[in-house]
C-alpha cells in the first residue's frame, strides 16, 4: 500500500515537468549585438562577444582581449481569466489570485581571446545560454499544473579559430554545460485503497536535479570583401540526464525518493550577413533556427521503480529573423538599431502555465563608446512585445487526469538592458 501511495503521488508531480521543453533560450549574450536585435551577429565579429554565435570570428581580433558584461532581463507576465477544475472533479472549479509570475534577473557573460599567430586565435567564453523562472502564488487556480519552474544553465566554451587563407576563417569549441532545474506544484492525495481523491486534502511537491554534460560549437566566416562578410554558426544540442530528488511537504508516507530525468537543450543554427555601405552606415541581417523538436518527450525515472513517467511534449522547431543598421557618428561613437521576429516553440494545444510562451517582436537599439585604444563600452536595449498566449489544457493529454483542466489568457512583454565592456591588452 505504501508503494501504491508513493507511485500515485509521484505520478501526479511528474506530469508537470513538461515546462523544460518550452522556449527558454537566452539570446542576450552580447550588448553590442543586442543593439541590432542580433542581426548579423554570426557575421559581425565587431568584438569578441560575437564569438558566442560564431567562433570563427575570433580571427578578426589581434593581440589579447577580454570582454565582460551582463544583461538585465525584466519580463512581465500575468494570467487573466484563469479557470481550473480539481483533478478528477470536472464540476468543481478552483479559484485563486495570480499576480505577476515572473521577476527581473541578471545574466552575466565573459569572453577572452588571444591571437597565437597570423593563422590561429584561441578564445574562451562563460555564458548563461538557457534560463527561466516562473513563480505563482501557492493558492492560484492552476496550482496543480505548476507554482514554480526554474531552470538555470552555465556554459564554459573554450574555442579555437583558424584562418586557412585571407577570406575564410573556421572555428570550433566545446560546450561544457551545467544545468539545474527546480519544479514545484500542488498535488492531491489519493486513497491507496480506492484510488479516489481524498477531498479537501492537498500537498505540495517539488522536484530538483542537476547535471553536467558536453556539446560543441562550430562556425565559418567568409569575408567576400573589406565591406561584406557572411557567417554561419552552429551550437549543438546537449543531452542531459538530471539527477536529484522529489520531496513532498506534508505527505506522511515515504514518497520522497531520488529521481533522474533526461532533458536536451536544443541545437541552434544561425546564418548572418554584414555589409558596410560606406564609412558611416552598415546594414546586417540574421536567420536563426532552434531545433526544439529534439525534445519530444520527458522521461522520469525513480530510484527503485524504473521509468515512472513519459510526458509527450510536441514542441516545434522555431525560426528567428532579424535586420539591423549601424551608424558610425565619429571615431568614438556608434549607434545601432534592429528589429526581429521570434517564433514560439509551442502552440496553444500544448502551452502550459510553466512557460506561457508566444510569438514575439523585438525592437532594439544600442550605443557604443570607444573611450581610447584599449577600452570600449556598449549599451543595448530591447523591448519584446509578445502575442497574447492562451493556455487551454482540457484534460485529454497524457497526465492531465492528475492535474485537471486549466484555461487562462496571458499577456507578456519584456524589457532588456545589456552592458558590455571590452579591453585590449
Domain regions of the chain by residue span? 2-424
Please tell me the pTM assigned to this model. 0.85
> What number is the average pLDDT over the span 410-417?
88
Residue spans of beta strands (DSSP E) within 103-196 = 105-115, 120-127, 131-135, 148-165, 168-190
Chain-centroid distance, C-alpha 126? 15
Reported confidence tier of residue 197, pLDDT bands at 50, 70, 90: low
CA atoms within 13 A on the CB side of 204: 11
Higher pLDDT pick, 34 / 105: 34
Give whichever of 79-93, 252-266, 351-365 has the largest mean pLDDT: 351-365
Q: Which residue has the higher pLDDT, 213 or 191?
A: 213
Q: Which residues contact 406 (CB under 8 A, 6 or more apart)?
A: 82, 83, 84, 85, 141, 142, 144, 145, 353, 391, 393
- What distance in Å separates the CA atoms of residue 31 and residue 37, rounded to the nearest whole number? 10
Name which of 130, 120, 127 is nearest 67 in CA terms. 127
Element (H, E) at 2: helix 2-14
Question: Which of 18-22, 90-94, 332-336 shows the lowest per-residue confidence on average (mean pLDDT)?
Answer: 18-22
Rounded mean pLDDT of 254-278?
A: 88
* pLDDT classification of 205: cutoffs 50, 70, 90: confident
Q: Which three cell numbers stand for residue 160?
A: 579555437
Largest CA-CA distance found in the chain, in angstroms, rounded: 79
- What topology is assigned to 2-424 in CATH? Porin (2.40.160)
pLDDT band of residue 255 (cuts 50, 70, 90) is low
Question: What's the whole-number average pLDDT of the chain?
Answer: 83
Tell whether the model's pLDDT for residue 309 goes beyond 80.
no
Choice between 411 and 175, residue whose per-residue pLDDT is larger: 175
Amino acid at each position: 500500500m505504501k508503494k501504491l501511495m508513493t507511485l500515485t503521488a509521484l505520478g501526479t508531480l511528474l506530469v508537470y515537468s513538461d515546462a523544460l521543453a518550452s522556449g527558454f533560450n537566452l539570446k542576450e549574450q552580447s550588448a553590442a549585438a543586442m543593439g541590432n536585435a542580433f542581426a548579423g551577429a554570426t557575421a559581425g565579429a565587431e568584438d569578441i562577444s560575437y564569438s558566442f554565435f560564431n567562433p570563427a570570428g575570433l580571427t578578426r581580433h589581434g593581440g589579447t582581449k577580454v570582454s565582460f558584461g551582463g544583461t538585465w532581463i525584466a519580463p512581465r507576465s500575468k494570467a487573466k481569466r484563469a479557470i481550473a477544475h480539481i483533478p478528477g472533479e470536472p464540476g468543481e472549479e478552483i479559484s485563486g489570485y495570480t499576480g505577476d509570475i515572473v521577476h527581473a534577473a541578471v545574466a552575466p557573460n565573459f569572453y577572452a581571446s588571444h591571437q597565437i599567430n597570423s593563422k590561429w586565435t584561441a578564445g574562451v567564453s562563460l555564458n548563461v545560454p538557457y534560463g527561466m523562472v516562473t513563480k505563482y502564488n501557492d493558492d492560484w487556480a492552476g496550482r496543480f499544473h505548476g507554482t514554480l519552474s526554474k531552470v538555470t544553465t552555465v556554459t564554459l566554451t573554450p574555442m579555437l579559430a583558424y584562418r586557412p587563407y585571407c577570406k575564410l576563417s573556421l572555428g570550433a569549441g566545446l560546450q561544457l554545460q551545467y544545468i539545474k532545474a527546480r519544479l514545484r506544484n500542488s498535488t492531491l492525495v489519493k486513497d491507496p485503497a480506492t484510488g479516489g481523491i481524498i477531498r479537501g486534502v492537498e500537498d505540495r511537491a517539488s522536484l530538483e536535479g542537476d547535471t553536467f554534460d558536453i556539446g560543441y560549437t562550430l562556425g565559418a566566416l567568409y569575408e567576400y570583401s573589406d565591406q561584406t562578410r557572411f557567417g554561419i554558426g552552429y551550437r549543438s544540442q546537449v543531452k542531459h540526464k538530471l539527477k536529484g530528488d522529489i520531496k513532498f511537504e506534508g505527505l506522511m508516507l515515504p514518497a520522497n525518493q531520488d529521481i533522474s530525468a533526461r532533458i536536451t537543450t536544443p541545437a541552434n543554427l544561425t546564418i548572418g550577413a554584414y555589409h558596410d555601405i560606406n564609412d558611416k552606415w552598415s546594414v546586417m541581417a540574421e536567420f536563426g533556427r532552434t531545433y526544439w523538436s529534439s525534445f519530444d518527450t520527458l522521461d522520469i525515472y525513480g530510484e527503485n521503480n524504473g521509468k515512472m513517467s513519459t510526458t509527450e511534449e510536441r514542441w516545434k522547431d522555431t525560426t528567428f529573423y532579424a535586420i539591423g543598421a549601424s551608424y558610425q557618428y565619429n571615431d568614438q561613437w556608434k549607434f545601432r538599431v534592429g528589429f526581429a521576429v521570434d517564433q514560439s516553440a509551442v502552440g496553444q494545444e500544448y502551452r502550459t502555465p510553466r512557460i506561457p510562451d508566444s510569438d514575439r517582436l523585438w525592437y532594439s537599439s544600442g550605443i557604443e563608446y570607444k573611450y581610447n585604444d584599449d577600452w570600449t563600452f556598449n549599451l543595448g536595449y530591447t523591448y519584446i512585445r509578445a502575442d497574447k498566449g492562451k493556455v487551454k489544457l482540457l484534460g485529454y493529454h497524457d497526465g492531465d487526469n492528475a492535474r485537471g483542466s486549466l484555461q487562462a489568457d496571458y499577456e507578456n512583454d519584456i524589457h532588456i538592458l545589456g552592458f558590455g565592456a571590452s579591453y585590449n591588452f
